[in-house]
Amino acid sequence: MKINKIRYREYPLHIYALLIVLSIPFLYPFWWMLINSLNSPDQIFGMPRLLPSGWRWDNYGEAFRYQPFARQYFNSIYIAVLVTLGNLFFAGMAGYAFGRMKFRGREILFLMLLSSLMMPIEETIVPNFFFMKTFRLINTHIPLILIPIFGAQGAFSTFMMRQYFITIPGELEEAAFLDGLSAFKTYLRIILPISLPVFSSTAILTFLYSWNCFLEPLVFIDSVKLFTIPLSLANFNDSYGLPQWHLQLAATSVSVIPILLVYVTFQKKITNAMAFSGLKG
């Protein structure tokens, strides 16, 4: 078995220096958020600094005491995880059906699926609200889980899966069918193991969508204990309605951690899948 090794080209030092300079505009906002999460409110909008002035670590503790931020943090995590798993499960099978199976009305159904991507979420939020209200699901997390799975985000995930599955050689399925595997077992044992790149990409995009979602929680959620991270960050205000910037920046800094972990985890799987796609027996 031979493994095609990835060779990295060595560039002159001035190329790396140029890349570092070009990365500063992208990294500075993130660095500004981190250093000002440790400052007092009157130090945030002063002269730009590279390091905090006060090192107020209590800003993070105060952010969790100001409102039930730990509960809201957990809400976002478990909702995003369920939405991601649901999308991978349903979009994977739907994408396989649209991409590899032939059945009557496949093109029409796929066209209807694509048409759902052309409608902005603002057009569907009102019908979805009354639909969930009919089943008394308002002020629960169920709409925040079902709508991304079976709505536009689910349609987009299905489209990504389908576009990947149509590139898989048909000989793999023919060999599986000759061995007596059903369509579902072929998908489970043959297609899934070689589809890690598209599943990882879909997982990243779906998790980010659910984690950053603001409009649906704003419409469906009333209780502060049921808030997700986006609603929670907008709720760090004083009695006059003015933002508590030091608490908001501290909470935002903490909210970035799951996104980084998900991206690093699945990005590594994408890289590994691409690297070992050149295996030869």
CATH code at position 156: 1.10.3720.10
| pLDDT band at residue 174 under the 50/70/90 scheme | confident
Distance CA 37, CA 52 (A): 8
Query: Does 20 reside within a domain?
Result: no
User: Distance (Å, rounded) from C-alpha 1 to C-alpha 10?
Assistant: 28
Q: Is 85 exposed, middle or buried (0-12, 13-18, 19+ CB in 10 A)?
A: middle
pLDDT of residue 279: 39
- Count the alpha carbons within 13 Å of 262 in the hemisphere toward its beta carbon: 23
Pseudo-torsion of CA 101, 115, 141, 239, nearest 10°? 150
pLDDT of residue 123: 87
> What pTM was estimated for this model as a whole?
0.86
pLDDT at 248: 93
Calculate what percentage of the chain has a pLDDT beyond 70: 92
Whether residue 196 lies inside any domain: the answer is yes
116, part of any domain = yes
What's the pLDDT score for residue 277? 45
Is residue 135 domain-resident? Answer: yes
Does a structural domain hold residue 43? no
**Per-residue model confidence as pLDDT tens digits over 51-80:** 888 788 999 999 999 999 999 999 999 999
Give how many domains the chain has, as a whole number: 1
Q: Does residue 281 have a pLDDT over 60?
A: no
3: pLDDT strictly greater than 50: no
Average pLDDT of the chain is 87
Residue 189 has pLDDT above 60, yes or no: yes
Provide, rounded to the nearest whole percent, the portion of the chain with pLDDT above 90: 55
pLDDT of residue 180: 86
Check pLDDT > 70 for residue 213: yes
- Give 244's contacts (C-beta < 8 A, 6+ positions apart): 41, 66, 236, 237, 238
275 has pLDDT over 80: no
Mean pLDDT is highest, among 15-19, 156-160, 180-184, 234-238, for 156-160
Domain that holds residue 89: 67-235
Q: Is the pLDDT confidence value at 1 over 60?
A: no
Q: What is the pLDDT of residues 101-158, one digit of tens each?
A: 888 999 999 999 988 888 888 889 999 999 999 999 999 999 999 999 999 999 999 9
How far is residue 57 CA from its own chain's centroid?
29
222 domain-assigned: yes
In a domain, 14, yes or no: no
175 located within any domain:
yes
Cα gap 58→165, rounded to integer Å: 50
pLDDT at 49 over 80: no
Question: Which letter does DSSP use for residue 2 in this model?
Answer: B
